[in-house]
Amino acid sequence: MPHSANPRIAIVGSGLCGALLAVYVGRAGYPVDLYERRPDPRSGKVVGGRSINLALSTRGLTALERVGLADEIMKIAVPMRGRMIHPQHGDLAYQPYDKDPSKAINSVSRAALNLLLIEAAAKLPNVRMHFDWRCVDADLDAPAVMLEHAETGESRRAEADIIIGADGAFSAIRGRMQKVDRFDYSQEYLAHGYKELHIPPKDGGGFRMEPNALHIWPRRSFMMIALPNPEGSFTCTCFWPWTGPNGFDRLRTSAEVEAYFREIFPDAVPLMPTLVEDYQRNPTSSLLTVRCGPWHYRDKVLILGDAAHAIVPFYGQGMNCAFEDCNVFGQLLDEARARAPRSAGDSGAIDWEALFARFYEARKRNADTVADLALHNFIEMRDHSGSRLFQLHKAWERTLHRWLPNWYTPLYTLVSFSNTPYADAVARAKEQTRIVNRVLAWAAAAVVGGLGVAAWLLMR
Amino acid sequence: MPHSANPRIAIVGSGLCGALLAVYVGRAGYPVDLYERRPDPRSGKVVGGRSINLALSTRGLTALERVGLADEIMKIAVPMRGRMIHPQHGDLAYQPYDKDPSKAINSVSRAALNLLLIEAAAKLPNVRMHFDWRCVDADLDAPAVMLEHAETGESRRAEADIIIGADGAFSAIRGRMQKVDRFDYSQEYLAHGYKELHIPPKDGGGFRMEPNALHIWPRRSFMMIALPNPEGSFTCTCFWPWTGPNGFDRLRTSAEVEAYFREIFPDAVPLMPTLVEDYQRNPTSSLLTVRCGPWHYRDKVLILGDAAHAIVPFYGQGMNCAFEDCNVFGQLLDEARARAPRSAGDSGAIDWEALFARFYEARKRNADTVADLALHNFIEMRDHSGSRLFQLHKAWERTLHRWLPNWYTPLYTLVSFSNTPYADAVARAKEQTRIVNRVLAWAAAAVVGGLGVAAWLLMR
């Protein structure tokens, strides 16, 4: 039976993706129930959870702009205009992200951004929020979600016409979809984990390093990075193997931690007064890539964001891609509504299964592409970003971009500073490289030929 | 706490892999509980389940021999010494599997083989069988399995020292392991499904086609195959796409089914008196590949067989690979027991976690290799086996194998008629091909050079 013109929509998860999606779907006028396992962040309790700051770039900003939230969020962002490379020995090296120094990715606090999105969703009269309810399972055919109260342990079954799972990399909704015949799925962990550390503001305030940069300590096969926070601190993240000579499991005692950092990250140690305590206290977490499909079950259930395509953090695109999901879903929903048959003042029922299928078709290849980009960029950041050849290559890309601004755009710029679909960005970058290499080969041949002619003239 | 010298072992699943493993582990003297969701096949009830016959080849036979079961099973097998190709138009073509016509893969009934293995396990005094108990979940840390009775619905928790999941492609034990941090997992479905059909014996008995062959109707991008059964019938299997011009979903009415078979499989139709009824009644099932790792959780839980590495059926290696798992596990168990520290007549406690890790290391690369081989062989069977070029290539391989029996062995022979680990077999086949191609290139160059010299001599 097709849905009515005004189906009830349950969104599972009020993280970054779920909260923004609630704004999109709520603004379209549908009655929305938003279920979240954590407590209401507006109550003042800490949201907690994953890494503390994130890089917001063009795709994410575009999705926020469409619902009028970009300006407010940019007020709490710290722009990062390039990479600051910290070698083990020697001087810092700065690499701008773009030929245009105003182009920046923006360090934002996950908690502050999430709070803002939840407030925006809660303002809509047709969006109801249900905090402290953890989704433990789903009945795809009803459809319904099985909920468990975080404090009382009470169990509840909540029905809806449509369920949208925005419940993250370990999605319970996806867990149930995995048991549907012909659902493809993979989860692949990195051999590296991550641990967060802290650089506080200067005594009396102010940043202890350049604030408008993403700091990288590339050490081949592993690295540390740091992103600025508005109040003057930095959040550092170590991306190290779990085991082996530079593995997390090698450092046991406080003395070992301190000695290791003094040797490998010598310029960072004086900036980290709580290094050893932070290292010992903070958890080491794993990094995974999730790919699956299809993302929907009939016209009843859809997954998006990390639930559909969790990626590793090295291109800074996880949140941006999830926000782009919301944007694309919103556009397709608007189109479907515009096409829907209308009757007597009714806004018209739409074909939700076709909408979900179109969304999957539009996003799947892009989600797969950005997953690959993110895995590849880990190698670029940790192995290559410290090398002189890499810095020359980046300078050459910026030069081409300056000379031929309408034709040549580096891949990093396409990914971070444009809304070109990820798959198209990669295809364009490959084509550019192919043509540049061909021109260079012709030029080299012309030079060699010219030298030959000159030599012949001279020797004649 | 390490296990005692005599840990209780629970095996989940008494399918082909679980039942044979129970024989191996039971013969080693451990107390074994075998849990199976289906009823006891010795009670006369039908075992049911998956495809009705299977190709038993050297690896499977070796594993059965090691526990003295091969001879009994070979009594109910029909040897298949080659492929019989049924083109859409034109004559049958026979392709022997090996230069030695006595080399054969053996068609056996899944139900009869399973019954025989269950009887062998039940004969061991330390093996207890529990039928009608479905494993729905596991507690990996206890460890324990959660069981549900198929008829009464009763729930039960069964503890053990070690749990071994041999519960197939949709393993509940693996489902629980998938939630352990850093467990890699993928399930990938084919765009093709399968449906079984039936060719009965001749009126008055006897086979309606050549019994000692695996029959293939290759039709590019899809196919039908047939395997002989001892009583004179054949089990046919259609491997077709789910959708599209040759898809299962295209044939709706009985008239459509009959017309399609008359056009595409004209020589089979007269042999299949119940074609239309079978087609309409039998289910269409999906085909998937499962890869994951690690296969164990501490010293508590292990998965093997399809639960660890389900593959598509096109190389006839799914059961053989699972039996080889049992064989390798048995060998490693024997080695660990021989090395175990002994005290006062005690057989000694072994390091089960190290044993599980060694098993994973020994088998993982081979399981990955056979998964790739099986996927690739689908293309070979359906797209190439009907072509003249393919038949020439196979004849050339057999010729090389005859000329250079100590050096050149075709990949099919290494996989089906040897116990060479799958990964080593593929590496060896690649090396052989590389050298043969180089020799051929030299030979071609020598011929061209010789012709050049001859021409020069003639023209002088």
pLDDT interval class at B47 (50, 70, 90):
very low
Among B182, B185, B286, beta carbon nearest to A286 = B182
Q: Do B185 and A184 touch (CB under 8 A)?
A: no
Better-scored residue on pLDDT, A119 or A44: A119
Among A179, A184, A242, beta carbon nearest to B189 = A184
Q: Which of chain A's residues have a Cβ under 8 Å away from the Cβ of B186?
A: 185-188
Mean pLDDT for B328-335 is 97
- d(Cα A166, Cα A184) in Å, to the nearest integer? 18
Q: Which of chain B's residues have a Cβ under 8 Å away from the Cβ of A188?
A: 184, 186
pLDDT interval class at B49 (50, 70, 90):
very low
Q: Do A184 and B183 touch (CB under 8 A)?
A: no
Q: Which of chain B's residues have a Cβ under 8 Å away from the Cβ of A186?
A: 185-188
Count of CB atoms within 10 A of residue A110's CB?
18
* Residues A125-149: tens digit of each pLDDT: 999 999 999 999 999 999 999 999 9
Give this complex's ipTM: 0.90
Q: Which of residues 175-194 of B touch A (CB under 8 A)?
A: 178-179, 181-189
Q: Does the pLDDT of residue A328 top 50, yes or no?
A: yes
Mean pLDDT for A374-388 is 90
Give start and end residues of each alpha helix (H) in A135-187.
172-177
In chain B, domain spans: 9-77+110-187+287-382, 390-459
B137, B170, B176, B182, best to mutate vs chain A, most A CBs in 10 Å: B182
Q: Do B286 and A189 touch (CB under 8 A)?
A: no
* Residues B162-181: tens digit of each pLDDT: 999 999 999 999 999 999 99
Mean pLDDT for A172-187 is 98
Better-scored residue on pLDDT, B208 or A3: B208
Helix/strand/coil (H, E, C) string of A13-80? Answer: CCCHHHHHHHHHHHHCCCCEEEECCCCCHHHCCCCCCCCCEEEECHHHHHHHHCCCCHHHHHCCCEEE
pLDDT at A391: 87
Give start and end residues of each alpha helix (H) in A340-421.
352-379, 388-403, 411-416
- d(Cα B178, Cα A188) in Å, to the nearest integer? 11
Per-chain mean pLDDT for chain A: 94
Q: Does the pLDDT of residue A400 top 60, yes or no?
A: yes
Q: Which of chain A's residues have a Cβ under 8 Å away from the Cβ of B182?
A: 189, 242, 286
Q: How far is A355 from chain B (nearest CA, A)?
A: 21
* Residues A401-430: tens digit of each pLDDT: 999 988 999 999 999 999 999 999 999 999
Better-scored residue on pLDDT, B17 or B339: B17
Q: Does the pLDDT of residue A177 top 60, yes or no?
A: yes
pLDDT interval class at A44 (50, 70, 90):
confident
∠ CA B22-B23-B24, nearest 5°, is 90
- d(Cα B168, Cα B162) in Å, to the nearest integer? 18
Q: Does the pLDDT of residue A233 top 90, yes or no?
A: yes
Q: Does the pLDDT of residue A61 top 70, yes or no?
A: yes
Q: Do A188 and B187 touch (CB under 8 A)?
A: no
Better-scored residue on pLDDT, A385 or B296: B296
Give the architecture (CATH level 2) of B9-77+110-187+287-382: 3-Layer(bba) Sandwich (3.50)
Q: Does the pLDDT of residue B343 top 80, yes or no?
A: no
Among B182, B183, B188, beta carbon nearest to A184 = B188
Q: Does the pLDDT of residue A16 top 50, yes or no?
A: yes
* Residues A198-228: tens digit of each pLDDT: 999 999 999 999 999 999 999 999 999 999 9
Chain B residue with Cα closest to A193: B182
Give start and end residues of each alpha helix (H) in B123-185.
172-177
pLDDT at B391: 87
* Residues B212-239: tens digit of each pLDDT: 999 999 999 999 999 999 999 999 999 9
Q: Above pLDDT 90, what percent of chain A?
A: 86
B186, B285, B292, best to mutate vs chain A, most A CBs in 10 Å: B186
Structure tokens at A126: 């047709």
Model pTM score: 0.92
Closest CA to B278 of B231, B316, B224: B224
Among B184, B188, B189, beta carbon nearest to A187 = B184
The answer to whether residues B54 and B77 touch, using CB atoms and an 8 Å cutoff, is no
* Residues B248-272: tens digit of each pLDDT: 999 999 999 999 999 999 999 999 9
- d(Cα A299, Cα A356) in Å, to the nearest integer? 7
Q: How many beta-carbon pairs under 8 angstroms link A with B?
A: 34
pLDDT at A287: 97
Mean pLDDT for B268-280 is 97
The dihedral built from the CA positions of residue A104, A107, A112 and A117, taken in this order, carries a sign that is positive
**Partner B contacted by A152 (CB < 8 A):** no
pLDDT at B48: 45
Mean pLDDT for B408-425 is 96
Three-state DSSP at A157 gives strand
pLDDT at A18: 98
